[in-house]
Amino acid sequence: MFIVDEQPYGKADYERFVNRLTEDPIWGKAERWRIAFCPEDIGEWIMLVYYLKEKQGSIVPIHPSMPFEGAKLVAQEAGCTYLYYQSTGLPVVLNEVETRHERGIVQFSSGTTGLPKQLVRSWASIEQELNAYREAWTDHVHDTVIVACPITHSYGLISGVLAGLEQGKNVVIVTTQNPKYVLAQTLTYPNHVLYAAPPLLHMLAKLTKQKLNGVMTSGTRLPDKWFRIIQAASRFIMQQYGCSEVGCISVATNVSHPDEIGKPLSHHIVKAGTREQPAVIEIQRQEGRCNTGDLGFIGQNGTLYFVERVSDVMIVAGANVYPHEVERVLLQHKRIEDAVVYKKVDSLSGDRVCAQVVASDLEESNVRNWCATYLALYQIPKEIHFVDAIEKGANGKINRKQIGGGTL
Question: Which pLDDT belongs to residue 111?
Answer: 53
CB 90 within 8 A of CB 24: no
**In 3D, which of 103, 86, 126 has the Cα closest to residue 248?**
126
Question: Which pLDDT belongs to residue 398?
Answer: 87
CB 397 within 8 A of CB 366: no
Per DSSP, the residues of 297-326 read EE-TTS-EEEEEEGGG-EEETTEEE-HHHH
Question: Which pLDDT belongs to residue 117?
Answer: 76
Per DSSP, the residues of 107-176 read EE---TTSS--EEEE-HHHHHHHHHHHHHH--S---SEEEE-S-TTSHIIIIIIIIHHHHTT-EEEE---
Q: What is the pLDDT of residues 324-333, one digit of tens each?
A: 999 999 999 9
Q: What gap in Å lies between CA 14 and CA 353, rounded to an integer?
A: 55
Q: What is the pLDDT of residues 162-177, one digit of tens each?
A: 999 999 999 999 999 8
Q: What gap in Å lies between CA 261 and CA 136, rounded to an integer?
A: 13
Q: What gap in Å lies between CA 174 and CA 187, rounded to an integer?
A: 14
Q: What gap in Å lies between CA 316 and CA 64, rounded to an integer?
A: 44
Q: What gap in Å lies between CA 408 and CA 341, rounded to an integer?
A: 17
β-pairing, 144-147 vs 170-173, is: parallel
pTM: 0.90
Provide the H-helix boundaries in 189-304. 198-207, 224-232
SS3 content of the chain, % helix, strand, coil (to 5): 30, 30, 35
Question: Which pLDDT belongs to residue 219?
Answer: 87
Q: Which helix (H) or strand (E) holds 179?
A: helix 179-188
CB 75 within 8 A of CB 60: yes
Query: Residue 130, by phi and psi: left (phi above 0), alpha (psi -120 to 50) or beta?
Result: alpha
DSSP type of residue 183:
H
Question: Which pLDDT belongs to residue 113?
Answer: 44
From residue 263, how far is each of 27, 195, 214, 306 by CA, in Å?
40, 19, 18, 12
Question: Which pLDDT belongs to residue 396?
Answer: 79
The tens-digit pLDDT sequence of the chain (408 residues) is 899 999 999 999 999 999 999 999 999 999 999 999 999 999 999 999 999 999 999 999 999 999 999 999 999 999 999 999 999 999 999 987 666 788 999 988 765 444 567 889 999 999 999 999 999 887 777 899 999 999 999 999 999 999 999 999 999 999 998 999 999 999 999 999 999 999 999 999 999 999 999 999 998 889 888 999 999 999 999 999 998 888 999 999 999 999 999 999 999 999 999 999 999 999 987 777 889 999 999 998 899 999 999 999 999 988 999 999 999 999 999 999 999 999 998 777 789 999 999 998 899 999 999 999 999 999 999 999 999 999 887 777 888 888 887 555
Q: Which residues on neighbouring strands pair with residue 320, listed in sequence order?
A: 315
Q: What gap in Å lies between CA 134 and CA 15, rounded to an integer?
A: 26
DSSP type of residue 381:
-
CB 177 within 8 A of CB 167: no
Alpha carbon 202 to its chain centroid, in Å, reads 15
Which residues, other chains included, contact 2 with Cβ-Cβ below 8 Å and sequence gap of 6+?
8, 9, 43, 46, 161, 164, 165, 170, 171, 172, 173
CB 59 within 8 A of CB 86: no
Alpha carbon 158 to its chain centroid, in Å, reads 11
**Structural domains in the chain plus CATH codes:** 2-121 (3.40.50.980), 124-310 (3.40.50.12780), 313-404 (3.30.300.30)
Mean pLDDT (the chain) is 92
CB 279 within 8 A of CB 265: no
Question: Which pLDDT belongs to residue 408?
Answer: 53
